[in-house]
Amino acid sequence: MRNTPFTAALRSEWLKVRTTRSLMGSLSAVLIATVGVGALVTAFLGEAESDNPGFEPVSFSFFGLNFGQVAAICFGVLAVAGEYGHGTIRLSLTAVPRRETFYGAKLAAVGGLALAVGLPAGLAAVAVGQMLLGEHGAGLGDPGVLRAGFGCGIYLALLALLSAGAATAVRSTAGALGLLVPLVFLISPVVGEEAWFLPDRAGQQVLHPVPEGPLDAWSGTAVMAAWTVAALCAGLAVLRRRDA
- Total tally of structural domains belonging to the chain: 1
Task: Give residue 75's domain range.
Answer: 6-241
Q: Report how far residue 124's alpha carbon sits from residue 146's, in angstroms, rounded to the nearest whole number.
A: 10
What phi and psi, each to the nearest 5 degrees, are found at residue 2?
-75, 130
Q: The whole model's pTM is what?
A: 0.94
In a domain, residue 220? The reply is yes
> pLDDT value at position 244?
61
**141 three-class SS:** coil
Of all residues in the chain, the percent with pLDDT exceeding 70 is 98
Q: Report how far residue 226's alpha carbon sits from residue 80's, in angstroms, rounded to the nearest whole number.
A: 20
> pLDDT value at position 184?
87
Instruction: For residue 114, give the nearest of 158, 175, 147 by alpha carbon.
Output: 158
> With a cut of 70, which residues of the chain have pLDDT below it?
1-3, 243-244
> pLDDT value at position 1?
47
In a domain, residue 1? The reply is no
H/E element holding 53?
none
Tell me the residue type at 173. Answer: T
In a domain, residue 76? The reply is yes
> pLDDT value at position 3?
66
Give the other-Cβ count within 10 Å of 132's Cβ. Answer: 20
In a domain, residue 38? The reply is yes
Q: Report how far residue 232's alpha carbon sits from residue 238's, in angstroms, rounded to the nearest whole number.
A: 10
> pLDDT value at position 2?
58
In a domain, residue 128? The reply is yes
In a domain, residue 123? The reply is yes
Q: Give the Å distances, CA to CA, from 185 to 36, 65, 73, 131, 189.
A: 21, 12, 11, 29, 8
